[in-house]
Amino acid sequence: MDLTTVITLAIIGLFAGFASGMIGIGGGVVIVPALVYFLALSQHEAQGVSIGMLLMPVGFLAAYNYYKSGNFHFNYSVTIGITFVLGAFLGSKLSLNIDELLMKRIFGVVMLLLALKMIFSK
């Protein structure tokens, strides 16, 4: 990795971490598109990096802050975390069998629908 790549990755990580700590988004919404557009990774590579990043305890300090403020549901987090593992395994198996252009389009449509729902809901 060259210095430019390291700096780009660090900026993506800082921005995604900030967005995650602030409003609960990060991997799919920030990291995947940034890796595709700023580092020219394929959609599958970007998704792999985003999932690989989760292997580290990236959210521990943010979760601790939410816990201290009384805004943390341990049982919810554990339940989602355990089922996330199965979902991530199944989703990655399916994704790797779908053409990359179709994956980009699926990803874009999902993000667009989520954005529209958030913008126009009460």
Query: How far, in Å, are 45, 50, 59, 86, 109 from residue 54 at the CA level?
Result: 15, 7, 9, 14, 24
List pLDDT tens digits, range 24-75.
677 678 888 888 889 998 888 888 888 777 766 667 877 788 888 888 878 8
Collapsing DSSP to helix, strand or coil, 78 comes out as helix
- Domain count along the chain: 1
Torsion over CA of 21, 23, 29 and 30, rounded to 10 degrees?
Answer: -40
Element (H or E) spanning 120, and its range? helix 100-120
- Domain housing 8: 3-120
pLDDT tens per residue across span 61-116: 777 888 888 888 788 778 777 887 788 788 888 888 989 899 889 888 888 998 89
Exposed (0-12), middle (13-18) or buried (19+): which is 15, by Cβ within 10 Å? middle
